[in-house]
Amino acid sequence: MGERLRAVLPSVFSVFLALAVCWVFIALTRDAETATGAYLQMLRGGLGDWAQYFESERLTVLTRPLGEAAIKAALLLLTGLSVTVAFKVGLFNIGAQGQMLVGALAAAVAGAQLQLPAVLHIPVAILAACVTGGLWALIAAGLKLARGVHEVISTIMLNWVAVSLVDNWLSVGPLRAGAGTHLSITGTAEIATSAQLPRLLGEMSRLHLGFPLALAVALAIWVWLSRLRSGFETRAVGLGSEAARAAGIPVVRRTAQAMGLAGALAGMAGAVLVLGTEYRYPGGLGAPYGFDGIAISLIGGNHPLGVALSALFFGALRAGGTRMQLLGVHKSYPELIQGLALLFVAGRLVWLALLRPRKVAPVVPTRQPETSPEVPRA
């Protein structure tokens, strides 16, 4: 079995196991027929209703669901990459939610307040979101580097700061569309048409530029981490920061860069949400995608291309989940599947133990016979 295959298999098994467990659960609470039916609906909702297409030849029965899946996948991919990039430098970014939130608001403000041609407006609005998200993440990085504050704690707390700041104050207060008037509108003002991400298939689907953008970003991150010097240095910091320091790698700079990039990616997810589908910052976004990013990243093996696959899969599942409701099955099952898959991936040591070849590979000694057991040093 190839090393690469062995790295991928636990994730694949975990996803299938999660699918099976949820099927059993629906079958137990309802019946097997409903469970299978619900899964088929989910498939149609996520990958298109091919049966109907061959019957009616209406292209939209394919493009609509696929477009929705792609939109969801783009958001999951960007937040997943955010977690992945932080992970590569050895930090656990639980703060993609907050970073996405402030990014979304920045994109909404830039989209609404600026007047620029579309070729400039879109990049500027996305950049604003990236910078805001990045700075938000750098607060956690700064606390970590200067004071040793654990990033899990600080990013979680910054999530709540972001929610309070954006959802509970800015978007319902000073930045509310109807602020100063008596209009009771929630959310910020609508962005200019020039800031809207163009739809790629016109009226046939909501699929917009955000999807290819997210894929391109994933590719760029992969190239950076695997082929560039700075990516190598970043990984070295993540896997052995003291060895990296001794090797003359600027550990502080690489850590700050990676965490800033992680925040920028989450911020970009916020921009894609606002500029692509919402067209304004809705009152009380909450941005659940931030936490999804953790699951997507881990199921994707913290590898940019794996994360892309994982995001595509769960994007389709999410998009299809709404169609489960046709059979009275709750649409949160895709999230349940995702959560279970994460749980099973977390138990991947068990998978690896089961997958270990029976014969010991010649290059990997199983154990050093002379090594005495780990004992605490006096």
Q: Which residues bind another protein (CB under 8 A)?
A: 227-230, 232-233, 235-236, 239-240, 242-250, 359-360, 362-370, 372-373, 375-378
Minimum Å gap between C-beta 302 and another protein is 12
User: In b/e form, how buried is each residue of 86-102, taking b as 16+ CB within 10 angstroms?
Assistant: bbbbbbebbbbbbbbbb
In angstroms, what is the minimal distance from the CB of 230 to another protein? Answer: 7
* Comparison of 239 and 350: residue with beta carbon closer to another protein: 239
CB closer to another protein out of 26 and 236: 236
Nearest CA among 304, 317, 308, 310 for reference residue 342: 310
Q: How far is the CB of 281 from another protein (least distance, A)?
A: 37
Length of the chain: 378
Structure tokens at 43: 């498939």
Q: Find the shortest distance in angstroms from Cβ 375 to another protein.
A: 5
Q: Smallest distance from the beta carbon of 331 to another protein, in angstroms?
A: 40
Nearest distance from residue 236's CB to another protein, in Å?
Answer: 6
Give the separation between CA 154 and CA 352, rounded to whole angstroms. 33
d(CA 45, CA 50): 10
- Residue carrying structure tokens 């297409």: 53
Q: Is the CB of 2 or the CB of 328 nearer to another protein?
A: 2
Comparing CB distances to another protein, the nearer of 244 and 324 is: 244
Helix (H) or strand (E) holding 349: helix 348-355
Is the Cβ of residue 50 or residue 92 nearer to another protein in the bound state? 92
SS (H, E, C) 30-90: CCHHHHHHHHHHHHHHHHCCHHHHHHHCCCHHHHHHHHHHHHHHHHHHHHHHHHHHHHHCC
Cβ nearer to another protein, comparing 147 with 227: 227
What Rg do the C-alpha atoms of the chain give, in angstroms?
23
